[in-house]
Amino acid sequence: MNLLKTLAAISSMTMLSRVTGLIRDVLFGWYFGAGAMMDAYVQAFKIPNFFRRLFAEGAFSQAFVPILAEYRNQKGEAEVKELVDHVATVLVWALLLTCVLGVVGAPVLVVMFSSGFLNSPTKFDLTVNLTRIMFPYIGFMSLVALSSGILNTWRQFKIPAFTPVLLNLSFISATLVLTNHLHQPIYALGIAVFVGGVLQLAIQIPSLIKIGMLPRITSNPAFALRDPKVRRVLRQMGPAVLAVSATQISIMINSTWASWLPDGSASQLSFADRLMEFPSAMLGVALGTVLLPSLSSAKANADTKEYSALLDWGLRLTCLLALPAAVGLLTLSDALTATLFHNGKFDAHAVHETAKAVSAYGVGLTGLILVKILAPGFYAQQDIRTPVKIALVVLLVTQILNVCFVPFIQQAGLALSVGLGACVNAFLLFRGLRQRAIYQPESGWLKFFFKLLFALSLMAMVALGLSYQVDWLGLQGHKWMRAGLMGGVILVCMLIYFAVLFVMGFRLRDFRKLAK
């Protein structure tokens, strides 16, 4: 399998997801601005997302996918299907209980994530109501994580990569259609989350049927729970929950920090987060999705050389593409924010405050992406304890940085702490892989890095020079002209970066990788 081709296919789907997500966020800015109402939605949506990332896309996927890959390589189809059926049965019944508890206990959850909202009863009540509408999303997305894990193991990457597009389309439709018909327009976003979750799950079903792995849910979860295969997944999930929980607890604490900042701060951080997530998902999530099954297969085949080569390929490609994205966020933060959001209810103050957080994310973007590449190096080894220890250290580091930065630069301090914490995380993961001889860097890294540094320096100078020639806020009444200028600046920067690398000998064929 050509991994670069597979990565391109996934990235194209991820690109579609991010483009529709960008349209979604632009509409959010125009229709709702960055104020108290948007803060309530942002904080409420963090709650189901917290549990989704903790259990569904985090601990569950990291425990389930390597075991599923092992069974597919070494066992018969009947045993694999039995594993899928029993795991799905336990998961569905656990999710039903979780959703009921989450809806009933929404006020407690809001206090945990947004204690600062207690000073504003109206804002607090709105956040509770939105949480109740959106909490069932965790159920849908946990089942999507199960389905995606199965499809990815069968190298069926396109549908899982396309799935987030449906949520974005739900958001876009709700914003355009429902906001004018609701007494409280922000409830349109809560409805969109629920509908989007249903659509994301439904689209997985035909592909699961095609490969013969549509789970059969039974009414006896106790029987499924006695299956040794299920117990093995649950045992692996224990340390995985700890590993992922450190990151998610950090997010929860950051959410609490944001709730105590002035109105609009949580929204501004969220809009900046979206700009950071665009390159992070395009590369980090796509690469991580490709690497984990390939690494798991190399581990199952005891091919240590292939395992190391896969990691080396992922790290080189990350540096090649993540570093210019980070430079772009640092040098073009004001231009990007004004171009995308400065319209309707999103005023100049919101642009400046959001741009600060965008720049702060730029500092740590490469670290955020590298973590998504390095962590699978441990997960595919079914070693989740090492990332646990590292994540706990990073949790402490991030909160120390918050104490240092947030009182002075507010939401930008939260973004900077997350980025720098991710850099520490990436460094410790890399050191762990090297110390255990899991990863052996191939030759040419020093030469490779200095070529990148030269190209990045030229790109940064051009980006700053071009950006300063335009009054981005002054073009508010000329949205399409401003968008055209922004697109032109980005295109010129990309051409310069890749042209310099081409002159210095970089070729696409050097980054092709065939998985065995």
The answer to whether position 222 is within a domain reads yes
Q: Tell me the H-state helices in 33-157.
A: 36-51, 61-74, 77-104, 106-113, 121-134, 137-153
User: DSSP assignment of 354-365, as one string?
Assistant: HHHHHHHHHHHH
Tens of pLDDT, residues 198-215: 999 999 999 999 988 888
The answer to whether position 434 is within a domain reads no
pLDDT of residue 218: 86
From CA 258, how far away is CA 40, in angstroms rounded? 11
Cα–Cα distances in Å, from 353 out to 329, 412, 417, 468?
Answer: 14, 8, 16, 18
3-state SS, 121-135, equals HHHHHHHHHHHHHHC
SS3 514: strand
The answer to whether position 481 is within a domain reads no
Count the domains in the chain: 1
pLDDT in tens, the chain (516 residues): 555 566 666 667 777 887 898 899 999 999 999 888 999 999 999 999 888 877 766 677 777 888 888 888 777 778 888 888 888 898 889 889 999 999 999 999 999 999 999 999 999 999 999 999 999 999 999 899 889 888 888 878 788 888 889 999 999 999 999 998 998 999 999 999 999 999 999 999 999 999 888 888 888 888 888 888 888 888 877 776 766 677 778 778 888 998 999 998 999 999 998 888 888 877 766 676 667 677 777 776 767 787 888 888 888 888 888 999 999 999 999 999 999 999 888 999 999 999 999 999 999 999 988 988 888 888 777 787 888 889 889 999 999 999 999 999 999 999 999 999 999 999 999 999 898 888 888 888 898 889 999 999 999 999 999 999 999 898 887 888 999 999 999 999 999 999 999 898 877 666 655 444
The answer to whether position 427 is within a domain reads no
- 225 burial level (CB within 10 Å; 0-12, 13-18, 19+): middle
The answer to whether position 311 is within a domain reads no
Cβ-contact 16, 164 below 8 angstroms: no
The answer to whether position 195 is within a domain reads yes
The answer to whether position 211 is within a domain reads yes
The boundaries of the domain holding residue 40 are: 36-234
The answer to whether position 312 is within a domain reads no
- 339 burial level (CB within 10 Å; 0-12, 13-18, 19+): buried
Work out the angle between the directed axes of helices 187-202 and 137-153 (0-180°, nearest 10).
30
Cα–Cα distances in Å, from 507 out to 2, 33, 54, 500, 501?
Answer: 16, 44, 39, 11, 8
Cβ-contact 360, 419 below 8 angstroms: yes
From CA 267, how far away is CA 479, in angstroms rounded? 22
Contacts of 201 (CB under 8 A, 6+ apart): 140, 143, 144, 147
437: left (phi over 0), alpha (psi -120 to 50) or beta: left
